[in-house]
Amino acid sequence: MTTLKTPKGTRDWAGEDVLLRDYIFQTITDVFKCHGAVSLDTPVFELRDVLAGKYGEDSRLIYNLEDQGGELCSLRYDLTVPFARWLAMHRNVKQIKRYQIAKVYRRDQPAIARGRLREFYQCDFDIAGIYDPMIPDAEILSIILEVFKALDLEVTIKLNHRRILDGIFEVAGVPAEKIRLVSSAVDKLDKVTWAEVKKEMVEEKGISELVADRIGEYVRCSGSISEIINVLESNKELNTNENIKAGLDDMNLLLSYLEALNVADKISFDLSLARGLDYYSGLIYEVVLISANQVGSIAAGGRYDNLVGMYSKHPIPCIGISFGVDRIFTLLNARQNKTLSEAVDVYILAAGSGKDWSGLLLERMAVARQLWDAGIRAVFTAKVKPKLLQQFTASEGVSIVVILGEDELATGQVRVKKNIEVKDKETAQKDRGQLVSRDDLVQEVKKLMEKDRSSGF
């Protein structure tokens, strides 16, 4: 018999996991909408030529599909390249703030516990169009911090500038044709030691030890934006390089905007950050949790001004951020100090017993219909004559209970109460709740729900 399991690096979503995932989606989307973003949905696979040559060494991780009808296609690797393709196809779009939440696919070695999968969600926000320098860049960084504040995760943004990094490589003596290769090696410094990175550059990338040592002098520097700007501007060898000068102009301007937005202290300037993807052209950044964790970066992105131009004669400057939903899920799921609201707002319970007791199934259905029509999530036990204690047990975790009794129903009333953990039938019967008219039921339930929301998510 075939062993039943999901393919390596994939997972099923069910129950409370879906609740938490949807909470993450909604929280992030709310921030995007506050900044005027509109939603975009693109196909799960693209023409292979659209994806080719955009990801550097990571191109080996693209899932290629079999030829169907004369078109060579591949599963999307990210949401950025499909967005660039869409922009190239819609030349009438001059400026746009767009977001997309969707699955992407990478033929990687998965590590489930660290949130690294082969099929996983990305949640992207991008600003495309011609704007004055560094204004969209500052807004993107502000959005990142707003999202993680809403998710109650303390993060720092590590940021660098591709032109500064390229300039450092030029000054160090890296040949132009090897800059991207060296960049991908340096990008591993957050995971491995400098000795390992240097070994890769020398033995695999063909860089001399002298050049590698010069690279190491610079790329291991990090600090506040103002500190690293001062380090670079005080180095005469570096500040005469045209790429570095242009990058520093951007960083000085960005710093003034971030200070105005009151977020500069949440950002570090890290010269080891390289971002391995080929399409980045300016500012690049990654987001990491301040406390130690095993999941690595939980969001990343950068400026990619030239990507749309690879598909069209009309390039459009772009900058974006991609949130790793699965890694964020891993962090929130492991956190014990807060829990997510349950999937159900109200449990409808029938009180009664005895041989002649009807079980009030039809009445429970009618009350459920009343709550459903009001958009309230409600359930009841799917039995004709459920036992009282069984119903209380089933209601655990639901914040509000509506109790139906024959005497109360005869006068057009039900009982509503905040749920408590019940240990036995006697305790369950003590708190009978507040008598409420059926006509006022929805209003009273919504009042209790609002109190729950004001006390936490």
Query: Residue 315 sits in a domain of what CATH number?
Result: 3.30.930.10
Q: Phi and psi for 2 in degrees, rounded to 5? A: -65, 135
pLDDT > 80? residue 111: no
Residue type, 454: S
Residue type, 15: G
Q: Phi and psi for 226 in degrees, rounded to 5? A: -65, -35
253, 247 Cβ separation under 8 angstroms? no
Write down how long the chain is.
457
Residues 303 and 435 in one domain: no
Give the model's pLDDT for residue 294. Answer: 66
Q: Which domain holds residue 107?
A: 15-335
Give the model's pLDDT for residue 113. Answer: 62
Query: Residue 370 sits in a domain of what CATH number?
Result: 3.40.50.800
Q: Which of 9-23, 219-233, 427-441 has the highest mean pLDDT?
A: 219-233
- Report the relative pairing of strands 400-404 and 378-380 from DSSP bridges: unpaired
pLDDT > 90? residue 163: yes
Count of CB atoms within 10 A of residue 293's CB?
Answer: 16
Question: What average pLDDT does this structure show over 336-363?
Answer: 77
Whether residue 341 is contained in a domain is answered as no
Quote the tokens at residue 219: 């790329």
Residues 70 and 106 in one domain: yes
Give the model's pLDDT for residue 425. Answer: 46
Residue type, 307: L
Binding residues for L-histidine: 78-80, 106, 122, 126, 275, 279-280
Residues 299 and 390 in one domain: no
HSE-up (13 A, CA, CB side) for residue 365: 7
Give the model's pLDDT for residue 424. Answer: 45
Going by the DSSP 8-state scheme, the letter that residue 455 receives in this structure is: T
Binding residues: 78-80, 106, 122, 126, 275, 279-280
Whether residue 454 is contained in a domain is answered as no
Whether residue 220 is contained in a domain is answered as yes
First to last CA, the chain: 45
Instruction: For residue 453, name the pLDDT band (cuts at 50, 70, 90).
Output: low
Residues 241 and 293 in one domain: yes
> Which of 233-242, 379-388, 430-439 is the least confident region?
430-439
Residues 187 and 316 in one domain: yes
Helix (H, G, I), strand (E, B) or coil at 157: strand
- Rounded to whole angstroms, how far apart are CA atoms 65 and 67? 6
> Which of 70-79, 285-294, 345-354, 371-380 is the least confident region?
285-294
Burial class (CB in 10 A: 0-12, 13-18, 19+), 330: buried
Residues 244 and 385 in one domain: no
Whether residue 457 is contained in a domain is answered as no
Residues 48 and 100 in one domain: yes
> Which of 80-84, 166-170, 282-286, 430-434 is the least confident region?
430-434
Nearest CA to 60 among 112, 108, 10, 9?
A: 108
Q: Within its chain, how far is the Cα of 421 from the centroid? A: 34
pLDDT > 90? residue 81: yes
28, 122 Cβ separation under 8 angstroms? no
Helix (H, G, I), strand (E, B) or coil at 111: strand
Instruction: For residue 114, name the pLDDT band (cuts at 50, 70, 90).
Output: low
Average pLDDT over the chain reads: 88
Residues 327 and 389 in one domain: no
pLDDT > 60? residue 379: yes
Residues 293 and 368 in one domain: no
112 compared with 260, residue with greater pLDDT: 260
Whether residue 4 is contained in a domain is answered as no
DSSP E strand stretches across 17-108: 38-39, 45-47, 73-75, 96-105
pLDDT > 70? residue 112: no
Give the model's pLDDT for residue 457. Answer: 44
Nearest CA to 377 among 452, 278, 269?
A: 452
Chain position carrying tokens 């500052």: 138
How many structural domains does the chain have? 2
Instruction: For residue 339, name the pLDDT band (cuts at 50, 70, 90).
Output: very low
- Rounded to whole angstroms, how far apart are CA atoms 92 and 95? 9
Q: What's 341-378 look like in SS3?
A: CCCCCEEEEECCCCCCCCCCHHHHHHHHHHHHHCCCCE
Q: Phi and psi for 113 in degrees, rounded to 5? A: -65, -25
Nearest CA to 140 among 306, 273, 254, 27?
A: 254
Tens digits of residue pLDDT in 391-436: 888 888 788 999 999 999 999 999 999 876 544 445 545 567 789 9
Give the model's pLDDT for residue 337. Answer: 38
Nearest CA to 53 among 93, 81, 33?
A: 81
Helix (H, G, I), strand (E, B) or coil at 156: strand
Residues 262 and 358 in one domain: no
Please list the helix, strand and coil fractions of the chain in percent, rounded to the nearest 5, in that order: 45, 20, 35
Quote the tokens at residue 217: 């002098």
Give the model's pLDDT for residue 137. Answer: 97
Q: Within its chain, how far is the Cα of 259 from the centroid? A: 25
Give the model's pLDDT for residue 454. Answer: 60
Cβ-Cβ contacts under 8 Å for 41 (sequence gap 6 or more): 100, 102
Give the model's pLDDT for residue 97. Answer: 97
Residues 306 and 258 in one domain: yes
- Domain finish residue from 310, 335, 360: 335
Quote the tokens at residue 46: 């693209």
Share of the chain above pLDDT 70, in %: 92
Tens digits of residue pLDDT in 190-222: 788 889 999 999 999 899 999 999 999 898 899
Whether residue 34 is contained in a domain is answered as yes
pLDDT > 80? residue 248: yes
Cβ-Cβ contacts under 8 Å for 408 (sequence gap 6 or more): 414, 415, 435
Q: Which residues pair with 436 in a beta bridge?
A: 414
Nearest CA to 211 among 173, 170, 165, 185?
A: 173
Whether residue 70 is contained in a domain is answered as yes
Question: What average pLDDT does this structure show over 236-259?
Answer: 94
Residues 318 and 228 in one domain: yes
Q: Phi-psi category of 264—alpha, beta or left, where left has phi over 0 and alpha has psi -120 to 50? A: alpha
- Domain finish residue from 271, 306, 335: 335
If residue 431 lies in a helix (H) or strand (E), which one and from where to where?
Answer: none
Nearest CA to 219 among 195, 249, 187, 196?
A: 187
